[in-house]
Amino acid sequence: MKNCTLLSALALLTALALVVFNETRVNQKIAAALRDHPGHAPTASGDPPTANPLPEASELRAATMDLQRARQQLAAAEQQFTNLNSQIRALEQHLASVSQAVAALTQSGRLPIPDPAPPGTQRRPWGPEQATGPADTLTAGDLPTAWAPRQPDGGDEWLQLEFATPVQLAEVHVYESYNPGAISRLTTFLGDGSEVTIWEGSESEAAAPVARIFSVPFAAQASVVKIYLDTRRVTGWNEIDAVELVGRDGSRQWARHATASSTFAEQGQ
């Protein structure tokens, strides 16, 4: 924004300098033309000369008047530019204040995140949408408040979560509420759309419900996490209640949208 302001000022000053230069040159031509044709100069009383006006001098006078008008227009434009520059400075100050407020909220861990489930959104039992928002399946069991794949022990499945704000990833917290241990890989998507692996391996044994913490070993800014499961690793439905994204700036946010390879919510459809 500051660069644009500087370039605009330079353009205005350059244009104004050209007008002054051209006006001076035209006036010099007029003086030379009148000096070379004295019979065509105005009389002392100001009356027009009896001879036909010198065409060249007349045209030069008209050009001078045009240049004077252009100079006035440029002066008005310069004033408008000054007013615009003042508005830009005021806007920059306002944006700086907003940035400071956001930074303060981020540092305190209170960065506002839009409601992941707007009022009226249907949350089907065991649908992937059950994995959005804060964890709400507080006891182990085959409960409809968590996502479950269509079939138990069916093999490869995935759950993809989208978050409101892209952040530099630090950790991904996965809340497994039933038969944990089937997660085989976590990935994210970079700005160019490429999918990169965050973690891959086998989970340690744990009793449900459990919050798994997966650290991101590299710098990546993203707002999407994809969880791959091999449901043959642990017998029964492997269910995920919620996923939380932690940024390197300390911000925390729950998933706001989720899709899955399959869901028990579609059983019988």
Q: What is the pLDDT of residues 77-97, one digit of tens each?
A: 788 878 877 777 776 776 666
Give the Cα separation of 250 and 104 in Å (integer): 12
Integer-rounded Cα Rg, in Å, for the chain is 36
* Preceding peptide of 209 cis, ω within 30°: yes
- Name the stretches of the chain with pLDDT < 50: 2-4, 41, 102, 105-106, 108-119
**Contact between residue 130 and residue 123 where contact means Cβ atoms under 8 Å apart:** yes
Alpha helical stretches, state H, the chain: 2-36, 55-107
Give the Cα separation of 259 and 161 in Å (integer): 7
Residue at 260: amino acid letter: A
What's residue 86's pLDDT? 79
What's residue 79's pLDDT? 84
Give the Cα separation of 88 and 94 in Å (integer): 10
What's residue 89's pLDDT? 77
What's residue 218's pLDDT? 93
What's residue 97's pLDDT? 63
Q: What Å distances lie between residue 183 and 170, 240, 256, CA to CA? A: 19, 10, 21
Q: Is the dihedral of CA 128, 129, 131, 137 positive or negative?
A: negative
Q: Compute the 3-state secondary structure of the chain and give helix, strand, coil in percent, each to the nearest 5.
A: 35, 25, 40
Q: What are phi and psi of 21, to 5 degrees?
A: -60, -45
Give the Cα separation of 48 and 28 in Å (integer): 21
For 150, the enclosing helix (H) or strand (E) is: none
pLDDT digits (tens, 9 = 90+) for 230-251: 999 999 999 999 999 999 999 9
| Confidence (pTM) | 0.57
